[in-house]
Structure 1
Amino acid sequence: MDLRQLEYFVAVAEERNFTRAAQRVHISQSGVSAQIRRLEKELGAELFDRSARSAELTVAGEAALAHARNALAAAASVGQAVGEITGLLRGNLSIGMVIGCTVTPLFDALAGFHRAHPGVTLSLREDNSDRLLDDVRSGALDLALIGTGTEPDDLEFLTIISEPLVAAVPAGHELAGGPVALHDLAAHPVVCMPPGTGLRAVFDRVCAARGVEPMIALQASAAEAIADLALRGLGVAILSESMVAGHSGLTALPLADAIDPALLVLAWRPGTNAAARELIAYCRTAFRISADQSSSTAPTTR
């Protein structure tokens, strides 16, 4: 077996789809399939169940995945170690970003890093916050910008935003005019983000703490979509304060008994590689966050 076969195997396992994996590694689907077949022949076992609609790992595939990732990481570390000596960074960095979150400073950081280190290939993937966190922990992603209601205690992080949830309503709405209690909110349809997002986790937690069962009418992954639905009278939007800013037709009302903040954080594993550390430094500058606002040992939306 060779590293290329392991790279394709990991790509298919993470994408759960041969076509998306081929796009990710920049070769044809038939090329990916052929290399996976050669790897399976050499190992003497099928790695994927091809009878399902998605490419699901077999028991043998599950057993091989962690070792394949470790082998690729070890190979990358060889290049990184030499790069640190020569001052030249090479390799690949995989970055995750929560769906529907346009954060210009992150893009600025990526652009600045790319100009300074063209030998490092960058990939960016959107997903919901729960899956992004899982992928950072597993090593499938080097770092990710995620929404959360709690600080992950096993990762290093930069806190980008920490702010309360608000209820957003159009002018003339029955709730307009002051803070909203969760029990009063329960009498109205709610438009919010889906499970797996940081904002939804915070909202679910504060409602459960007060014994409130909100009437979830509609769900959307983008703050703009939620705001537009609320503007049209389809429900009370649950967003963070900054997400409501810029929507002139909506009024942000404090949730009187929901004090837990929603967090937007950049998270990565302890002991990450040199290229990731350099990108994190660019992110610190882009977000204008000093090193003392992050944790290198502690474990810290949408």
Structure 2
Amino acid sequence: MELRQLEYFVAVAEEANFTRAAEKVHVAQPGVSAQIRRLERELGETLFDRSGRTVTLTEAGAAVLPYMRAALEAVAGAKQAVDELTGLLRGRVAVGMVTSCRAGDLPDLLADFHKNHPAVEITLSEANSDVLVASLLAGALDLALIGSVTGSVPGLETSIVTDEPIVAAVARSDSFADRAAVPLVDLRDRSLICLPKGTGMRAALDEAAAVAGFEPRIAFEASDPGVLADLAGRGLGVAILPSSLAETRRDLHSMSITEPGLRGTLALAWRAEGPRGPAARALVEHARSPRAGSSIASNR
């Protein structure tokens, strides 16, 4: 029985498909099928039912699956123990980034980490902040750059990257274009342009509006703040934007939002009990360094 056979078996069991399993283990599909057949001959039992549209475990396959997984975990643990003794870090880290955030120097942060730990596999995905938070809490992500109202999220530890005012921005021909500030309640009957639900900036708007006793009239939603600014610049409504973006737009007039003032934060977040593996712990320590935080913040 070979280690690769165990790996292929677990991959097919998880994917319920030989082709997807082959892609997962980076081997041609015939190679996976051949090794599974060899494993079945050695064990003297059929491990998969191949008669349906999806591949399912037989009774024998279901019985051996926990042992196959345990064997692979034991081998991974042995490799990790040796790597820790020799100073080589291995493993995989999963990073998330809020969709509405401009990447800034996050690629540089990850590249620096990869340079120090070349044997660690890094994956990066985008989603709204609520999805990222759920993924962090579930252990699907090790680190994420999220937008939030306060920067504090139950079950997570955070390191603030940016904290800035959220402003209202309109075209220079708008009737509000002579105002320096606007009370939030004055936006009650205006068509608003904002990020979708699940983002930190939208949560700040919705929570403040609820306290003020009204529901915002969202006319346009987009996950890219630049698109929000473009829509407002064409006179389609009032854009709710981070001040750093609004101030760069010559076609827009930005106003402070008052009563209450709105603020948005961008924060690095990870599980409060700490990442599960040494690779993830190393990435968190790298991301928490002042150099890494200021690098991302400078490009928000």
User: Could you say which TM-score interval applies, normalised by the shorter chain?
Assistant: 0.7 to 0.9
Greater radius of gyration (CA) = 2
Q: Is the 8 A contact 2:92 2:280 kept in 1?
A: no
Consecutive unaligned residues in structure 2, runs of 5 or more: 37-46, 50-54
Q: Quick one: which of 19, 40, 51 aligns to 2:56?
A: 40
1:252 CA drift (Å): 2.1
Which whole-Å CA distance do the structure 2 matches of 1:148 and 1:18 have between them? Answer: 41
Which whole-Å CA distance do the structure 2 matches of 1:139 and 1:131 have between them? Answer: 12
Which whole-Å CA distance do the structure 2 matches of 1:161 and 1:221 have between them? Answer: 19
Which whole-Å CA distance do the structure 2 matches of 1:37 and 1:245 have between them? Answer: 61
1:277 CA drift (Å): 2.5
Match of 2:94, SS state, is strand
Match of 2:239, SS state, is strand
1:5 CA drift (Å): 5.3
Amino acid at match of 2:285: A
Q: Is the 8 A contact 1:80 1:275 kept in 2?
A: no
Q: Quick one: which of 274, 283, 286 aligns to 1:282?
A: 286
1:89 CA drift (Å): 0.8
Q: TM-score, normalised by structure 1?
A: 0.74
2:193 counterpart residue number = 191
Which whole-Å CA distance do the structure 1 matches of 2:113 and 2:140 have between them? Answer: 20
Amino acid at match of 1:286: A
1:160 counterpart residue number = 161
Q: Is the 8 A contact 2:161 2:294 kept in 1?
A: no
1:238 CA drift (Å): 0.6
Q: Does 1:87 align with 2:87?
A: yes
Q: Is the 8 A contact 1:7 1:72 kept in 2?
A: no
1:293 counterpart residue number = none
1:204 CA drift (Å): 0.5
1:110 CA drift (Å): 0.4
1:111 CA drift (Å): 0.7
177-186 vs 251-260, which moves further: 251-260
Which whole-Å CA distance do the structure 1 matches of 2:208 and 2:69 have between them? Answer: 38
Which whole-Å CA distance do the structure 1 matches of 2:70 and 2:198 have between them? Answer: 27
Which whole-Å CA distance do the structure 2 matches of 1:85 and 1:149 have between them? Answer: 42
1:135 counterpart residue number = 135
Matching of residues 14-163 of structure 1 within 5 Å: 40-42=56-58, 79-150=79-150, 151-163=152-164
Match of 1:104, SS state, is coil
276-285 vs 92-101, which moves further: 276-285
Consecutive unaligned residues in structure 1, runs of 5 or more: 47-63, 290-301
Amino acid at match of 2:56: E
Q: Quick one: which of 227, 246, 252 aligns to 1:250?
A: 252
Amino acid at match of 1:127: A
217-226 vs 250-259, which moves further: 250-259
Which whole-Å CA distance do the structure 2 matches of 1:20 and 1:100 have between them? Answer: 31
Are the structure 2 counterparts of residues 100 and 41 from structure 1 closer, same or farther at C-alpha, using a change threshold of 3 Å?
A: same
Q: Is the 8 A contact 1:8 1:25 kept in 2?
A: no
Identity level (%):
42
Which whole-Å CA distance do the structure 2 matches of 1:30 and 1:233 have between them? Answer: 59
Are the structure 2 counterparts of residues 28 and 89 from structure 1 closer, same or farther at C-alpha, using a change threshold of 3 Å?
A: same
Aligned length: 266
Q: Is the 8 A contact 1:182 1:212 kept in 2?
A: no
Which whole-Å CA distance do the structure 2 matches of 1:184 and 1:244 have between them? Answer: 19
Match of 2:56, SS state, is helix
Are the structure 2 counterparts of residues 233 and 203 from structure 1 closer, same or farther at C-alpha, using a change threshold of 3 Å?
A: same
Q: TM-score, normalised by structure 2?
A: 0.74
RMSD: 3.8
Are the structure 2 counterparts of residues 253 and 72 from structure 1 closer, same or farther at C-alpha, using a change threshold of 3 Å?
A: farther
Are the structure 2 counterparts of residues 256 and 103 from structure 1 closer, same or farther at C-alpha, using a change threshold of 3 Å?
A: same
Which whole-Å CA distance do the structure 1 matches of 2:175 and 2:20 have between them? Answer: 47
